[in-house]
Amino acid sequence: MTPRVLMLISNFYPVLAGAEQQALNLSQMLVSKGIPVSVLTRSIKSEKSFEQIKGVSVYRKIHVLDKGKWFGISYILTSFYFLFRMRHTYNIIHCHIADGLGYIAALLIKFFFNKKVIVKIALSGPTSDFKRLKKSWINRICLKLLHKVDKIITICEWSKKEAVAEGFSESKIAFIPNGVNTDHFIPSSVLDCSSNKITYLGRLKHQKGIDTLLRAFSILVAKKPELQLEITGEGPEKTNLLKMSEDLKIADKVIFHGNNTDPYAFLLSSGIFVLPSRCEGLPNVLLEAMSCGLPVIASNVGGNLDLIQPGINGILFEEGNHEQLSLAIETIRDDKQLKEKLGENARQTVVEGYSMDLITSEYITLYKELLRKV
């Protein structure tokens, strides 16, 4: 039986945060391999209720009332109505992000119409999907219902351990990491290993630990005034981070670019890429930086631990330890041979284990396995 997949996700293109980017890339790759894919997501006033994006049918049909409990009720009801009406067009519902409400509607469809349901666990650590599902009694009921899906997808070993701790059996868990388009994010002759730029790309929020990076940079730039820190992204912490750079007297050495529509070009201008997050799943941007052959430094949380072998394809530092981060940047900056080795091995790691083509094949195998059990 050919898999016909309906992706269910709260936000989708043109919103392109981590989960949304993964959903878009996976959907397009599945279509290129002959797997029909449609996407159900929330409505956006400025966007069409239906459109085709490179062969992917996108339905913005989830309508919500932003009024307390009515948000969740309207979300589940409109999701269920669409899934019921379109039930003949798919045989697998692939839900992204477990703390969303979509899989509740998907489970109703599974019960009545024997559709297969999988749910991806997007975040691990202090803000994991599991922890979010324990915030209220309603959420805890949702967590119990999560055990009724056919498979949960964990994207890193940390997340898998959390799933086991929550009582999910090994047979219920499928380990499939995030992927990256290694044909797009490629090393280039434009990449300047002697670049004085240290870069961060991502949302500006507390979870991302950019304050740790600013403190580390303030130590480093006092010894190496030629260095420059470039931060690309927007988010609720931007005002605080701007003030912090002024308080640390490094404002003239730190550039906040705002949103960036071409992450590839930004990464290629980098000398060292840093991801100082307090918690992570398996971050897209780290995969992209490594795929570009950049030397990378990341905090020792979540999927970063899966990706990076310290001293081989990158450097890990203790989350929140700005002195250790500063030393790591200095170590790479002062050793050109190490810098080149880390970049080359980073590229090899991603090509061999995290290419979107490989990850898509793993999902197709999973889909077919589930359908054989119908």
Q: What pLDDT was estimated at residue 190?
A: 59
Please tell me which residue, 230 or 131, carries the higher pLDDT value.
Answer: 230
Shared domain for 286 and 204, answered yes or no, is: yes
Is residue 315, in this structure, part of any structural domain at all? yes
Is residue 145, in this structure, part of any structural domain at all? yes
Is residue 185, in this structure, part of any structural domain at all? no
Neighbours of 137 (CB within 10 A): 8
- Residue 183 in 3-state DSSP? coil
Residue pLDDT, tens place only, 302-346: 999 999 999 999 999 999 999 999 999 999 998 989 999 999 999
How far lies 297's CA from each of 113, 180, 194, 314, in Å? Answer: 47, 18, 16, 6
Shared domain for 326 and 346, answered yes or no, is: yes
| Segment among 65-74, 160-169, 174-183, 337-346 with least mean pLDDT | 65-74
Distance CA 64, CA 78 (A): 8
User: pTM score, two decimals?
Assistant: 0.91
Please tell me which residue, 82 or 123, carries the higher pLDDT value.
Answer: 82
Neighbours of 77 (CB within 10 A): 15
Shared domain for 247 and 304, answered yes or no, is: yes
Is residue 53, in this structure, part of any structural domain at all? yes
Is residue 184, in this structure, part of any structural domain at all? no
Q: What pLDDT was estimated at residue 124?
A: 80
Q: What pLDDT was estimated at residue 29?
A: 96
> What total number of domains does the chain contain?
2
Distance CA 347, CA 352 (A): 9
Pairing of strands 228-232, 254-258: parallel
CATH code for the domain in which residue 258 is found: 3.40.50.2000
Shared domain for 118 and 257, answered yes or no, is: no
Q: What pLDDT was estimated at residue 357?
A: 96
Pairing of strands 56-62, 50-53: antiparallel
Shared domain for 343 and 288, answered yes or no, is: yes
Shared domain for 251 and 363, answered yes or no, is: no
Query: How much is the average pLDDT of 356-362?
Result: 97
Residue pLDDT, tens place only, 163-176: 999 999 999 999 99
User: How does residue 192 score in pLDDT terms, banded at 50, 70 and 90?
Assistant: low
Residue pLDDT, tens place only, 231-270: 999 999 999 999 999 999 999 999 999 887 788 889 988 8
Residue pLDDT, tens place only, 216-227: 999 999 999 999
Q: Which domain holds residue 116?
A: 5-179+355-371
Shared domain for 230 and 137, answered yes or no, is: no
Average pLDDT over the chain reads: 92
User: How does residue 374 score in pLDDT terms, banded at 50, 70 and 90?
Assistant: low
Q: Per this entry, what is the length of the chain? A: 374
Q: Label residue 200 left, alpha or beta by phi (over 0 means left) and psi (-120 to 50 means alpha).
A: beta
Q: What pLDDT was estimated at residue 215?
A: 98
Shared domain for 110 and 15, answered yes or no, is: yes
Is residue 189, in this structure, part of any structural domain at all? no
Residue pLDDT, tens place only, 36-62: 999 999 999 889 999 999 899 999 999
Is residue 302, in this structure, part of any structural domain at all? yes
Shared domain for 85 and 159, answered yes or no, is: yes
The angle that helices 356-371 and 18-32 make with each other, rounded to 10 degrees, is 70
Shared domain for 241 and 141, answered yes or no, is: no
Distance CA 140, CA 154 (A): 20
DSSP-assigned letter for residue 89: G
Q: What pLDDT was estimated at residue 276?
A: 97
Shared domain for 22 and 157, answered yes or no, is: yes
Shared domain for 346 and 360, answered yes or no, is: no
pLDDT at 364 over 80: yes
DSSP-assigned letter for residue 16: -
Is residue 80, in this structure, part of any structural domain at all? yes
